[in-house]
Amino acid sequence: MATVLIAIAPVVALLVYFYHRDNYEKESVRSLALSFFYGFMITAVAMVLEVVLLWFVAAIREFVIRIFLQAFLVAALVEEGLKFMVFRALVYRSSEFNEPYDGIIYAVMISLGFATLENILYLVSSYGRFGFLGVLNVGIFRALVSVPLHAFCGVIMGYYLGLAKFMDKKTDELRYISAGVGLAICAHGFFNFFAFSGLLCGVYAMLFVFILCWIFSVKAIKIHISHSPFKK
């Protein structure tokens, strides 16, 4: 029980933060919960795909190429791609998606749903290998870095989807969709690439990517909130 609580605590904190940032026209709890649920469920799909892809990637002897493919293809492309598929199917054409910030809040809900199950699985595995001390160590790192990164990738994708939704030209819409998905994959991929490197400089580079994503997210939220059509 304690392991599960440690796993979901950072998710709850981020959910509350993003929900309360929606100052002018809050989304229904039901719609947000549904997005979160589907994000939670696609974690299982991602795990299956990643296991299959890892089987092929593991045969590559060149270390840099192998971790690059693990970071960008196995993790980032699969996970962000699945999140986008859920967003496109569940949210994008919904009448409730009626202001730019909605792109952020729904993408974050999907991302945090994904991060919740992923975090639980990581911490349960840590408990089995290292006991409760392992849970605390891994849990603190993931609460401060890994879970927020999922949220930040959701902000990146959602920011551009929030722009795409209200474009008049189809070419502009597709351009913003491509930018949102592509940049989310790049952010996630570079973070994982540096994390997988096992080098001290890789840790610094990983934190640098994290900080850039954080800064982008803060600014993106402010921009979409300030341009809300429901602002009086």
pLDDT averaged over the chain?
91
Which DSSP string corresponds to 21-63? H--SSPPPHHHHHHHHHHHHHHHHHHHHHHHHHHHHHTT---H
Write the pLDDT tens digit of every residue in 36-76. 999 999 999 999 999 999 999 988 989 999 999 999 999 99
Report pLDDT for 32.
Answer: 95
Domain residue limits, the chain: 2-224
Q: Supply the pTM of this predicted model.
A: 0.94
Flag whether pLDDT at 118 surpasses 70: yes
Write the pLDDT tens digit of every residue in 185-210. 999 999 999 999 988 999 999 999 99
Locate 57 and state its tokens: 């990637």
